[in-house]
Structure formats: structure tokens, C-alpha cells
Structure 1
Amino acid sequence: MLNVLIVDDDKLVRRGLISAMPWSEFGLQVAGEARNGEKALEFLETHEVDLMLTDLAMPVMSGLELMRTVRIRYPRIFIVVLTLHQDFSYIQEALRLGAIDYIAKVQLEEERFEEVLERICSRIDSERRRESSPGHVPTLADADGGYALIGSIKTEIHTAAEQLPAALRRPDLTVTPDLHVWMDSQEPNNGLLEETLSDLSHRTRCGGLIRLSGLRGRSVSDISARLEEYLSGEWFYVQRPDIRLYTFDLSKPDPLARESASENIQRALADLRKRGAKSDWLHESHEFESLLVDLASLRLPPQRLHGELLGLTYVWNAIYEAASGSRLETPEQAQSWFEAEQEIRSMRELLRTVLGLQLYSHEVRSSIMLAAALVRERLSEPLQAGQIAREVNMSRSYFSQCFRDMLGVTFNEYVRQQRIARACTLLAETRKTVQWVAERTGYADEKYFSRIFREQTGMLPSEYRHRYLQEETNVR
């Protein structure tokens, strides 16, 4: 069993961690707790500790100060950082000081206890294997390349990895619960590794496979920090639903590491706002494409980008409202630049339409027709606008707008209409029970199905079947 020390100035947090986490399931036991860095050092003088979980913001002695001291006095102790908010400057400093992981307290509020402990134990195993490797320089990568697989792949990875040699069956590093890293071993099985991981990425809902370079000579904590930066920044701009293999060179500077408040950034944003307030981008495609390229090139953090889009939407609504009497939908915060770009393109399409400049393109019409076909094929399954929108490569808000404009009803209303139409056919052409018909048209509850059916047709399912049979008999 590994002994754990929990350091946090909030007693409720300490008590909650001790009582709620399934420590014993992962070979861990809580040896003690401390309310600040000084008390933690006093405890370490008289107790054996293998793993220390520490908050960063504490009175008397901060978590960073505690880490610096522990690194010198007790270098064999593994350290995990607890943080209330994901302020990456503090987290990055903690990783530089040798922390093997950090836990955002929101994860604990969501009761992701097993996931957190599994990740910590995986990190500890990785560090110990690396330290025990013959001729290995501790904490430094001795290969330049590797692979990172994005996605929650707990069971899938172990199944697929059965094809790999034993040494490659587990990731060398888990940066977050959803990012697993394999180092390049410079052995003949590297091709098999990439092939297996690429296949896994395609077969599961993983975000993609990243081919890494620039690892040699970097510490594990530095690699983790750079990948965290990448996931919270540049990854937002490069990910697309039609791409599965990406590349990331850790030796190159992070484009989002620049100070976003610098004069150059501010001047560029001011220029973009002026251009966005004019109508040139509505009439000229090259001006619109240039606007998108210039906005993406600033590499604004996602939240900052969302704020800029809200500002532009406010300006564009003045045009839209004057022409149509209604307002553009406020865009939700995008999960990628691809989604953000889709939102901007959708607003341009809507503005051009109300101004009589353009109808929906052939590509958009084809996507909506495909979406309608998918609905008709899957009436027995749960159907959500967001999922169908992703399958036809459209943002949800633009998809909903186009769907309503082209088919005359909302997505949910169209699903309801198609389900009732299918139910009418099944009631007329089969002698199956009403419950069976309900299940074949996406309704698990027979009473709810009957209520919806009556709202749409004016009759209960049994009444509809009886009337149909009477009409069929009269015709004969």
C-alpha cells in the first residue's frame, strides 16, 4: 500500500477526500492530513509518505513553497496538485517543480473519483518504470517522437493493445483522463504502434491521434505541461471532424503563449471589429474569407474568441433585425475553431438571405436532405439535433435554422411527424400490439405514445386501426 498525505487549508475538502475516494481499490491509504505547508513538513519528519496531494493556495506556506522543500528533502515522494480553478500559470509551475498530475476540484464535485485515482496510479507506474529502466536518465525522454491519443478509451485501449508487444500495452504517460501518450521506442514495432492507435482512433469516439516530435531531453512534467498547453489552446484551432491524424512539435513555441493583451493583438482586433461592422464581407467572398483567416491567425483563447463573436453578433443583429424583424441566435461557445467558423458562416448566410443576396447553397441543401433521410432511417432510435448536425458537418444552431427554413418545421417537430406517419403505416399494415408499434417509432412508453398520437391525428392508436380496417372493408 502507498501512504498518502492530504494537504489543504479547507477541512471539509480534506475530510471529503479522505471519506469519498476509493483509496484501497487502488492500493492507497491515507496516512495523514495537514492544513498548511508547515504542518505537512512536520508530519513528513515522522511518517513515511509515498504520495502527497496538496492545494496551491494556502496560508502560512503555499503549496508551491511546500513542493520546493519536499523536492529537496524527500525527492522520492510523488506530488499531485489540488486546484480550485485551472489557472495554468500556477499549474505549469507546479509541473516544473515535479508534480506528476493536478486535480481540478470540479472533477471531485462531479464525483469522478475512480477516474482521478486511476490516472494518478498510472502516472506513478509510468514514473517507476522509467526510473527502473536500465541506463535510463530519470524523468528525461530519450526518444524524440511519440504518439498522443485523445479520448476516453479505458476499455477500448486495453482490448486493441493486445496486438502490441507487452512493453507497449499501456501508455507511457497519461496527461489528462482523455490524453494518453506513448514514447517512440526506436524499435521495429513502431509501425504497428501507429497503425493500432490510428485504427483505434477511427473505431472509437477518440478526438484523434497526434504524432509527437521534439520530446528528446524533456522531462515528463515538461511534456505534460506542453501537451496541456496544446489541449487548452492550439488544439482548439486545428481539430476538425474530418481529420484523425495530427502532428505536434513540442520544440516549437506555443502560438497561444503570446500575451493576448499586447498592442499588436489589440490593434489587430480593433481592425477586425471595424471590418466586421462594414458590409464588404457580406458582398465580397474574398473579404469574408480574409476576415476569417485573420481572426483565426490571432489564436485567441477560446473564451476570448467567444467574447469577440458575441460582439460581432450584436453588430450584425442591427442589420438582421432591420431586414427581418427577428434576431440572430446568440452563438454558444464553440468547442473548436471549426465550430466557430461554422457559426460565422451561418450568420453570413442568414444575413445574405434576408437581404436577398443568396439562397442556401447546394452543399447546405444536400446536408439538410441527408439529415432528413437519417431521421427517417432511425425513427426507432433516440434522435437529437446536435448529433445529426455533427454527422452532416454543420453547427447545431445553423443546422436548426436551415432545417426550419427548408422543411418548414423544426427538427423536433419533423421527427415527431415522421414517427407518427410511420406509426400510422404500422398500425394499418400489421396486427402487432400498440406497444410494439410505439417501440418501433421511438417511444418506450405506450401511454406517452398514445397521447402524442392523439394530439397529431385526433385518434388513439386503437381507434385509428379500427377506422382504417373499416374503411378498407368498405372499399372492398
Structure 2
Amino acid sequence: MTVKPLNVLIVDDELPLRQELRSFPWEACDAVLVGEASNGDDALRMCESCAPDLVITDITMPIMDGITLIREIRKRYPAIQIILLTCHSDFHYVQEALRLGALEYLLKVSMEDEELRQAISKVRSAIIKERNSQDNEKAGRRLIQAAAFGKLLHGHVLSSSDWQTIPLQEEGYCVLAGVVLNAPNAVYLAERHRVEQQLTEMERSDPSWLTWVSIREKEYFVLISMQHASQAVDQSFAGVVEIIAGLLQGEEGTPSPFITAQAIVSEPFKTREEFTQFLVDSAQWKEALFYDSLTESHVFTRRAQQLKDMTDKQTHEMNEILRKSSCSITSLVESLEENFAPWCQAQRIRPNQLKQRTLNWLMEWLKGQQGCELDSASMTQLLASQTLAQMIACLKRDIEAAESRKIGSRIEIRSAVQWIKDHMQQSISLTILADQVGLSPHYVSRLFREETGCSVNQYITRLRMEKAVELLKRTNKKVYEIAEEVGIPNYRYFTVTFRNWTGVSPTDYKRHV
């Protein structure tokens, strides 16, 4: 276990001794001098503001002596370690100070730097031992608390002994913060210890943190006493979320929109019933993060909007949105962002249902792309999408991958495809194409079908129709102008071909886009 540099507070009414201690090489002992006081009363106030780990104090001082100071520190700040500075004549006080909990004493008149170094080392060992003991005790208690939280999440009624494990404030209000980490499993597992270490540090340093527990992987709950206004708690917790997200990003990694920490802070509550209700609501909130999750870490202070089961009507609407744009790969990919994603956001269908229906549509669409199939890894990634943005990204990747597989790997066919794209406005025949790539028409025809899954004429028609669809959507050109631009100057032939390809006439398509 690592311990940060010790914060040291010096308390003595003799200025020369304080000046001597100022010049001590604290950094060499992994310590920092955070303040000094001339009496116990001032020192006690500084314990609140400076948060020392170690107080080095004289015994005989005005206003409040060292013995009284030790008693008050033990009462208010039991984690602070104490070293006593004394004279030979004060030895009977030393016994009282050690009885009260001072860890070590040093004689002023003969104190050497090495003695102080050894005393500081003893303090550090005591702090590590005490923290290890506390952490082990808290870890055991945390498992019991997590079990109680889990029972409530599954609708069970807690017994009196179960409730006693949850440190709700008997007086005053509490808030409960739910935290969900959005990161790949490998990243989370690599950084899990550091994330939980950060939560433990906050629990140790902030007296308002009553406990934190982990119910499931990448999900935590933090119970906080309401010592401050709820807005202050929200702001403070936002800082914690940023730190945790930073741990997941890595020390040198560039920020990723798919690695974030999201949290929701409850309204202040006072009763067990209110606590239980928020805990149950948090499950709905976690599921709603599929739609609400931001590309940056964020703290929510509201309940999630209601999610809905997917109906047959919504399934039909979804299929229609995708069908209308599926005549062109470019159009389909654009429609995912412009039409499909906003529709999903508005419908707020339960994520698992939406992902399954979307996967079903994708597999059917791929069957129509010269028998393309979706591999198991791609299926798993789509179904594991934690946000709508991730699901859309998976769809775009799989659709574009299917398109790239059609083009093939033969350099002659890649050249032929590129030439077709560059000369789409011209009249293109198999003979002309064969001349361009230096092969016989028969050989080009066979290779082209093997590589793309369709004939040269079918491929040219598809490219021209995709281009026509794009021009109808993006421009105000007349239908006959578009027909000429895609290489079919015969208006009647263009209209028939477009209707066969899309199911509607060019005029009707333009009217409804």
C-alpha cells in the first residue's frame, strides 16, 4: 500500500524551535510541513483546515497545553498521529501523553535530525498498519453491504440486521450516487483496482462519504451524507467522475467518446423507503444511458425517461426507414445518422429489444448483398453496444465492410470498377471496359461476376441508381438532368429503371425525401 507524503503540523510556543524545525529536510522524509501554531487552540483549528497526518507538539503552552490538545485530537481526529516534544522536567506528562495515544516522544534539548527521521518512519508504519486494518475491515463490510443492495435491487425485503449494514443517517439527509463506467471490458479489468482505490481514497478523505459498494462489474453506488447543499454534492461528485474517467482513458491515451463514466445523484432522502425507491429507479436509469449517455463524463440529477417495449408498429416503422434508403450504400449509411438514430432516440425502445431487431434487419439486408454474412464477432459487438452511437457505428462498419467485399481483390477488377465510377456519364459496354483493362470481354465478364457477385451491367446500373438517388436527395436538379448526369439520357428508360430499382418513380421519390 502506498501512502502519500505526510502532512505535518508543528505546535510549539518557542519561535526558535519552530524555526529550527522549518529547516528540517521534510521532503527527504517524504513529508510536507503544512503549518505551525504557537498553542493548542490554534493547532486544533488548523487540524480542520490543513488535514495533517502528523502533529508534532510541545507540552507546556499557553491557552491550550499539549495534553489537552492530544485529548481533543484523539476525540475529533483519531487518525492523526502525534509526536511529543518534551523536556526532562516534563517526563510525568510524557506518560500521560503516551497513555492518551501519542506515538513517540523526543527530547528538545538533545533532538537530532536522525531521531526525527526515525520517528517519522515510525509514524508512517503506524499509518500503513492502521489503514490496512481499516481497509480490510471495510472490505469485509462492503461485501455485506453489497449483498443488501443486491437484495433490494431484486425486490427482496430486508431484515433488520440487513438494514443495519447500510449506514443511513439517522439524523439529516443522504443522497445516493449511482456510477456506470462505459469502457471495454479489457480496459475496465486493467484499471479496476485503480478505480476502486480512488473511491476508497475519497471515502477515507471525505467524512461525508458513508460507503461505496460494487453490485456488478462497471457499476458502483456511493452513499453520501448531506452535510452540504445537494448542488455542492453534485459538483463535488462531478470531479470524482472526471477522475475515474481519466483512469479508464489511461495516462497517455487520447480521450475516447466510448470511454466515459456516467453518474446520477438522487434527490436528498431520509427514509429507507426513499432509499429503496432510488436504488430501484437506478436500474432504469442505467438502461436509459443507452440513449442519454454523452461522449463526455457527466453527472445526471434527474430520473430517466420511461423506456418502452418494442411494438409491431415500431418494427414496421424501423424497417421502412431503412428500406427507403437501402437502394444505395451511401444513402443507407447517411440515413443511419440522419433518420434512424433520431427515430430511435425519440422512441426510447428498450435497448436489448432494439439491438436484436436491428441485428435481424442487418442479417436480412446482408443476404441480399450477394450472400454476405455477418460473423459472430460482429454480432456480439452490436449486441454489446452500450450506447446508441456505438450501435450505429457497428451498423455502419458492417454495411461498409459488405460493400468493400463486393469489389474484390483482383487488380484488374478494381481498375474496372474505378473506371466505371470515373466515366459514369458515358455510354459503357463490356467491350469498352475490356479494352480499358487489357483483357478479353469474356474474361472480364467472368472475373467481374466472381469478384463482385453480379454482372458488369448489373453493377453499372446499381452505381447509376445510387448516384441518381443521391442527386435527387441533395440537389434541385430536374429528373431529366439527373438522368443525363448518371449516363442514361433516355428519360423513359431512366424512369423505368429507377422504378424497378427503388419501387417508386423518380418524381415520387424526390417528393417524399
Report the TM-score, using the length of structure 2 for normalisation.
Answer: 0.38
